[in-house]
Protein backbone atom coordinates (compact mmCIF):
# COMPACT_ATOMS: atom_id res chain seq x y z
CA UNK A 1 0.00 0.00 0.00
CA UNK A 2 1.39 3.45 -0.93
CA UNK A 3 1.81 6.34 1.51
CA UNK A 4 -1.30 7.98 0.08
CA UNK A 5 -3.15 4.65 0.44
CA UNK A 6 -2.14 4.44 4.10
CA UNK A 7 -3.35 7.97 4.67
CA UNK A 8 -6.62 7.08 2.98
CA UNK A 9 -7.08 4.09 5.30
CA UNK A 10 -6.63 6.35 8.32
CA UNK A 11 -9.11 8.88 6.96
CA UNK A 12 -11.64 6.17 6.09
CA UNK A 13 -11.40 4.58 9.52
CA UNK A 14 -11.70 7.93 11.30
CA UNK A 15 -14.77 8.71 9.18
CA UNK A 16 -16.25 5.33 10.05
CA UNK A 17 -15.51 5.84 13.72
CA UNK A 18 -16.47 9.51 14.15
CA UNK A 19 -18.43 10.91 11.25
CA UNK A 20 -19.85 7.81 9.62
CA UNK A 21 -21.65 6.79 12.76
CA UNK A 22 -24.21 9.53 12.17
CA UNK A 23 -24.59 9.37 8.40
CA UNK A 24 -27.52 6.99 8.34
CA UNK A 25 -31.23 7.84 8.41
CA UNK A 26 -33.03 5.97 11.15
CA UNK A 27 -35.82 3.43 10.86
CA UNK A 28 -38.08 2.56 13.74
CA UNK A 29 -39.36 -0.56 15.32
CA UNK A 30 -39.87 0.42 18.90
CA UNK A 31 -41.17 -2.97 20.03
CA UNK A 32 -39.16 -4.82 17.35
CA UNK A 33 -41.88 -7.42 16.89
CA UNK A 34 -42.76 -8.58 13.38
CA UNK A 35 -45.19 -11.28 12.34
CA UNK A 36 -43.59 -12.21 9.03
CA UNK A 37 -41.06 -15.01 8.92
CA UNK A 38 -40.54 -14.73 5.20
CA UNK A 39 -37.28 -14.30 3.34
CA UNK A 40 -37.68 -11.24 1.11
CA UNK A 41 -35.49 -11.11 -2.03
CA UNK A 42 -32.94 -8.28 -2.16
CA UNK A 43 -30.75 -7.09 -5.00
CA UNK A 44 -27.74 -5.60 -3.25
CA UNK A 45 -25.98 -4.87 0.02
CA UNK A 46 -25.78 -1.25 1.11
CA UNK A 47 -24.40 0.10 4.38
CA UNK A 48 -23.24 -3.25 5.78
CA UNK A 49 -22.64 -3.17 9.54
CA UNK A 50 -21.90 -6.78 10.47
CA UNK A 51 -21.08 -10.22 9.15
CA UNK A 52 -21.50 -13.75 10.53
CA UNK A 53 -21.68 -17.29 9.16
CA UNK A 54 -24.52 -19.38 10.57
CA UNK A 55 -23.08 -21.59 13.32
CA UNK A 56 -24.77 -24.72 11.92
CA UNK A 57 -25.08 -24.03 8.20
CA UNK A 58 -21.96 -22.70 6.40
CA UNK A 59 -24.18 -21.97 3.39
CA UNK A 60 -25.87 -19.10 5.25
CA UNK A 61 -24.09 -15.78 5.68
CA UNK A 62 -25.79 -13.07 7.74
CA UNK A 63 -25.17 -9.42 6.86
CA UNK A 64 -26.44 -6.82 9.30
CA UNK A 65 -27.27 -3.65 7.38
CA UNK A 66 -28.81 -0.20 7.52
CA UNK A 67 -31.98 -1.71 6.01
CA UNK A 68 -32.37 -4.77 8.26
CA UNK A 69 -30.80 -8.20 8.54
CA UNK A 70 -29.87 -9.90 5.25
CA UNK A 71 -28.87 -13.48 4.57
CA UNK A 72 -26.88 -14.77 1.60
CA UNK A 73 -27.69 -18.38 0.72
CA UNK A 74 -24.97 -20.52 -0.87
CA UNK A 75 -23.03 -17.43 -1.97
CA UNK A 76 -25.77 -16.66 -4.49
CA UNK A 77 -29.24 -15.65 -3.34
CA UNK A 78 -29.69 -12.57 -1.16
CA UNK A 79 -32.70 -12.05 1.13
CA UNK A 80 -33.86 -9.75 3.89
CA UNK A 81 -34.83 -11.73 6.98
CA UNK A 82 -38.42 -10.81 7.85
CA UNK A 83 -40.00 -7.37 7.54
CA UNK A 84 -37.77 -5.32 9.83
CA UNK A 85 -35.81 -2.54 8.14
CA UNK A 86 -34.11 -1.33 11.32
CA UNK A 87 -30.50 -0.18 11.23
CA UNK A 88 -28.46 -2.89 12.96
CA UNK A 89 -25.21 -1.10 13.77
CA UNK A 90 -24.16 -3.84 16.19
CA UNK A 91 -24.65 -7.55 15.47
CA UNK A 92 -23.46 -10.76 17.13
CA UNK A 93 -24.79 -14.32 16.77
CA UNK A 94 -24.96 -16.77 19.65
CA UNK A 95 -21.84 -18.98 19.45
CA UNK A 96 -23.69 -22.32 19.53
CA UNK A 97 -27.42 -21.75 18.91
CA UNK A 98 -28.18 -20.76 15.30
CA UNK A 99 -31.63 -19.45 16.23
CA UNK A 100 -30.33 -16.83 18.66
CA UNK A 101 -28.98 -13.49 17.41
CA UNK A 102 -28.22 -10.22 19.19
CA UNK A 103 -28.25 -6.69 17.81
CA UNK A 104 -28.22 -2.99 18.59
CA UNK A 105 -28.67 0.13 16.51
CA UNK A 106 -31.40 2.53 15.43
CA UNK A 107 -35.17 2.20 15.05
CA UNK A 108 -37.01 4.03 12.29
CA UNK A 109 -38.41 6.98 14.24
CA UNK A 110 -35.04 7.93 15.67
CA UNK A 111 -33.29 7.17 18.91
CA UNK A 112 -31.61 3.89 19.80
CA UNK A 113 -32.74 0.28 19.92
CA UNK A 114 -30.81 -0.69 23.05
CA UNK A 115 -29.74 -4.32 23.21
CA UNK A 116 -32.11 -6.84 21.64
CA UNK A 117 -32.38 -10.56 20.94
CA UNK A 118 -33.96 -12.82 18.36
CA UNK A 119 -34.85 -16.44 19.15
CA UNK A 120 -35.97 -17.30 15.61
CA UNK A 121 -32.99 -16.49 13.41
CA UNK A 122 -33.69 -12.77 13.06
CA UNK A 123 -37.34 -12.80 11.97
CA UNK A 124 -38.55 -11.23 15.22
CA UNK A 125 -36.72 -9.23 17.85
CA UNK A 126 -37.37 -8.45 21.52
CA UNK A 127 -35.61 -5.75 23.51
CA UNK A 128 -33.58 -7.22 26.35
CA UNK A 129 -32.31 -4.04 28.01
CA UNK A 130 -31.31 -0.41 27.55
CA UNK A 131 -27.69 -1.02 28.49
CA UNK A 132 -25.82 1.33 30.80
CA UNK A 133 -26.71 5.02 30.29
CA UNK A 134 -28.94 3.98 27.39
CA UNK A 135 -30.85 3.20 25.42
CA UNK A 136 -27.55 2.22 23.85
CA UNK A 137 -26.53 2.08 20.23
CA UNK A 138 -23.62 -0.36 20.21
CA UNK A 139 -21.52 0.15 17.08
CA UNK A 140 -19.07 -2.52 18.22
CA UNK A 141 -20.30 -5.73 19.87
CA UNK A 142 -18.81 -9.10 20.75
CA UNK A 143 -20.00 -12.27 22.46
CA UNK A 144 -17.63 -14.78 23.98
CA UNK A 145 -17.57 -18.11 22.09
CA UNK A 146 -16.50 -19.71 25.37
CA UNK A 147 -19.19 -18.19 27.60
CA UNK A 148 -22.34 -17.07 25.80
CA UNK A 149 -23.48 -15.04 28.81
CA UNK A 150 -20.49 -12.74 28.40
CA UNK A 151 -21.20 -9.91 25.94
CA UNK A 152 -19.46 -6.59 25.23
CA UNK A 153 -20.64 -3.38 23.59
CA UNK A 154 -19.12 0.06 23.06
CA UNK A 155 -21.26 3.19 23.38
CA UNK A 156 -20.47 6.88 23.86
CA UNK A 157 -16.90 6.45 25.02
CA UNK A 158 -17.46 3.50 27.32
CA UNK A 159 -16.87 -0.23 26.93
CA UNK A 160 -19.78 -2.06 28.52
CA UNK A 161 -19.86 -5.66 29.69
CA UNK A 162 -22.72 -7.99 30.55
CA UNK A 163 -22.27 -11.31 32.32
CA UNK A 164 -25.92 -12.38 32.07
CA UNK A 165 -26.46 -12.25 28.30
CA UNK A 166 -27.51 -8.62 28.19
CA UNK A 167 -29.92 -8.25 31.08
CA UNK A 168 -27.54 -6.05 33.05
CA UNK A 169 -24.50 -4.00 31.99
CA UNK A 170 -21.55 -2.22 33.58
CA UNK A 171 -18.97 0.14 32.12
CA UNK A 172 -15.54 -1.48 32.49
CA UNK A 173 -13.34 0.94 30.53
CA UNK A 174 -13.63 4.54 29.31
CA UNK A 175 -10.21 4.86 27.71
CA UNK A 176 -10.49 2.82 24.52
CA UNK A 177 -12.22 3.64 21.25
CA UNK A 178 -12.65 0.39 19.32
CA UNK A 179 -13.70 0.19 15.70
CA UNK A 180 -14.47 -3.49 16.20
CA UNK A 181 -14.37 -6.01 19.02
CA UNK A 182 -13.81 -9.76 18.93
CA UNK A 183 -13.62 -12.25 21.79
CA UNK A 184 -11.03 -15.00 21.93
CA UNK A 185 -12.24 -18.43 20.87
CA UNK A 186 -10.50 -20.35 23.68
CA UNK A 187 -10.09 -18.01 26.68
CA UNK A 188 -13.13 -16.07 27.88
CA UNK A 189 -10.89 -13.53 29.63
CA UNK A 190 -9.35 -12.34 26.35
CA UNK A 191 -10.88 -9.63 24.18
CA UNK A 192 -9.38 -7.89 21.13
CA UNK A 193 -10.11 -4.43 19.76
CA UNK A 194 -9.17 -2.95 16.40
CA UNK A 195 -8.49 0.77 16.73
CA UNK A 196 -7.93 3.86 14.62
CA UNK A 197 -5.16 4.99 16.96
CA UNK A 198 -1.49 4.18 16.57
CA UNK A 199 -1.81 1.09 18.75
CA UNK A 200 -3.34 -0.93 15.91
CA UNK A 201 -4.84 -3.89 17.78
CA UNK A 202 -5.10 -3.92 21.55
CA UNK A 203 -5.79 -6.86 23.83
CA UNK A 204 -7.43 -7.26 27.22
CA UNK A 205 -6.74 -10.32 29.34
CA UNK A 206 -9.18 -9.41 32.11
CA UNK A 207 -12.51 -9.16 30.29
CA UNK A 208 -12.13 -5.62 29.02
CA UNK A 209 -10.83 -3.81 32.10
CA UNK A 210 -7.19 -3.17 31.14
CA UNK A 211 -5.60 -3.08 27.68
CA UNK A 212 -2.18 -3.33 26.06
CA UNK A 213 -1.01 -3.33 22.42
CA UNK A 214 -1.14 -6.80 20.87
CA UNK A 215 1.83 -6.56 18.53
CA UNK A 216 4.56 -4.04 17.67
CA UNK A 217 4.13 -5.15 14.05
CA UNK A 218 0.72 -3.42 13.97
CA UNK A 219 1.56 -0.33 16.00
CA UNK A 220 1.84 3.05 14.35
CA UNK A 221 -1.27 2.71 12.20
CA UNK A 222 -4.96 1.98 12.13
CA UNK A 223 -6.60 -1.46 11.98
CA UNK A 224 -10.14 -1.65 10.65
CA UNK A 225 -11.03 -5.22 11.69
CA UNK A 226 -9.66 -8.31 13.41
CA UNK A 227 -10.90 -11.92 13.42
CA UNK A 228 -9.89 -15.01 15.42
CA UNK A 229 -9.88 -18.56 14.06
CA UNK A 230 -12.63 -20.54 15.87
CA UNK A 231 -10.50 -23.70 16.05
CA UNK A 232 -7.07 -22.15 16.64
CA UNK A 233 -6.96 -18.96 18.68
CA UNK A 234 -3.29 -18.48 17.80
CA UNK A 235 -4.41 -17.61 14.27
CA UNK A 236 -5.75 -14.08 13.71
CA UNK A 237 -6.37 -11.89 10.68
CA UNK A 238 -6.30 -8.08 10.69
CA UNK A 239 -6.65 -5.40 8.03
CA UNK A 240 -3.79 -3.12 8.94
CA UNK A 241 -2.51 0.22 7.71
CA UNK A 242 1.06 -0.70 8.69
CA UNK A 243 0.92 -4.07 6.90
CA UNK A 244 -0.61 -2.42 3.85
CA UNK A 245 -3.70 -4.62 3.80
CA UNK A 246 -4.82 -7.94 5.25
CA UNK A 247 -2.29 -9.65 7.49
CA UNK A 248 -2.23 -13.00 9.25
CA UNK A 249 -0.53 -14.34 12.35
CA UNK A 250 -0.34 -17.96 13.51
CA UNK A 251 1.51 -17.22 16.76
CA UNK A 252 -0.96 -15.00 18.63
CA UNK A 253 0.35 -11.79 17.09
CA UNK A 254 4.10 -12.18 17.58
CA UNK A 255 4.75 -12.21 13.83
CA UNK A 256 2.58 -11.19 10.87
CA UNK A 257 2.66 -11.68 7.13
CA UNK A 258 0.66 -9.83 4.50
CA UNK A 259 -1.69 -12.11 2.58
CA UNK A 260 -2.07 -12.41 -1.16
CA UNK A 261 -5.41 -10.65 -1.27
CA UNK A 262 -7.68 -9.37 -3.99
CA UNK A 263 -9.80 -6.55 -2.58
CA UNK A 264 -9.08 -4.14 -5.44
CA UNK A 265 -7.65 -1.52 -3.11
CA UNK A 266 -10.67 -1.41 -0.81
CA UNK A 267 -10.61 -1.38 2.99
CA UNK A 268 -12.07 -4.47 4.68
CA UNK A 269 -14.38 -3.48 7.52
CA UNK A 270 -15.82 -6.89 8.53
CA UNK A 271 -14.31 -10.37 8.63
CA UNK A 272 -15.89 -13.64 9.75
CA UNK A 273 -14.85 -17.27 9.95
CA UNK A 274 -17.10 -20.25 9.36
CA UNK A 275 -17.21 -22.12 12.66
CA UNK A 276 -17.82 -25.48 10.99
CA UNK A 277 -14.99 -24.97 8.48
CA UNK A 278 -12.44 -22.32 9.53
CA UNK A 279 -10.77 -22.47 6.13
CA UNK A 280 -13.78 -20.49 4.91
CA UNK A 281 -13.91 -16.76 5.61
CA UNK A 282 -15.94 -13.85 4.31
CA UNK A 283 -14.94 -10.20 4.09
CA UNK A 284 -17.08 -7.12 3.54
CA UNK A 285 -15.43 -3.94 2.27
CA UNK A 286 -16.25 -0.30 2.80
CA UNK A 287 -17.75 -0.32 -0.70
CA UNK A 288 -20.11 -3.15 0.36
CA UNK A 289 -18.39 -5.72 -1.84
CA UNK A 290 -18.36 -9.24 -0.49
CA UNK A 291 -15.38 -11.59 -0.78
CA UNK A 292 -14.78 -15.23 0.15
CA UNK A 293 -11.67 -17.22 1.00
CA UNK A 294 -11.53 -21.01 1.07
CA UNK A 295 -7.94 -21.27 2.30
CA UNK A 296 -7.96 -19.53 5.69
CA UNK A 297 -7.69 -16.04 4.23
CA UNK A 298 -4.64 -16.52 2.03
CA UNK A 299 -6.48 -15.68 -1.20
CA UNK A 300 -9.87 -14.14 -1.93
CA UNK A 301 -12.52 -14.04 -4.63
CA UNK A 302 -15.31 -11.50 -4.99
CA UNK A 303 -18.71 -13.17 -4.78
CA UNK A 304 -20.95 -10.10 -4.73
Closest CA to 222 of 7, 4, 18: 7
Stated pTM of the model: 0.88
Buried b (16+ CB within 10 A) or exposed e, 29-62: beebebeeeebeebeebeebbbbbbbbeeeebbb
Amino acid 36: pLDDT: 60
State the pLDDT confidence band at 262, using cuts at 50, 70 and 90.
Answer: confident
Interval 121-172: pLDDT, tens = 999 999 999 999 989 999 999 999 999 999 999 999 999 999 999 999 999 9
How far, in Å, CA of 149 to CA of 223, rounded?
27
Higher pLDDT, 199 or 100: 100
pLDDT at 247 over 90: yes
Amino acid 161: pLDDT: 98
pLDDT at 62 over 60: yes
Q: Are 221 and 6 in contact (CB under 8 A)?
A: yes
Phi first, then psi: what are they for 20, rounded to 5°? -65, -20
Question: SS in 3 state form for 159-201?
Answer: EEEECCCCCCCEEEECCCCEEEEEECCCCCCCEEEEECCCCCE
Q: Mean pLDDT over residues 45-56, rounded?
A: 94
State the pLDDT confidence band at 268, using cuts at 50, 70 and 90.
Answer: very high
Interval 69-90: pLDDT, tens = 999 999 999 999 998 999 999 9
Residues 300, 179, 208, 213, CA torsion sign: positive
Amino acid sequence: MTRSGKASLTIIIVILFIGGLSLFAYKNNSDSSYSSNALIPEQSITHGHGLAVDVDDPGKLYIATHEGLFVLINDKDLFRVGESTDDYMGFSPHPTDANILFSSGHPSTGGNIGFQKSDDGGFTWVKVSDGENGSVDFHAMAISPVNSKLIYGWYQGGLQRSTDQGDNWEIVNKNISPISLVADTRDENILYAATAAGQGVIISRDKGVTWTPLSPALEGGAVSVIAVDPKDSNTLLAFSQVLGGLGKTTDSGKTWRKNGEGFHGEVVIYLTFSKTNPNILYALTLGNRLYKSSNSGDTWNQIR
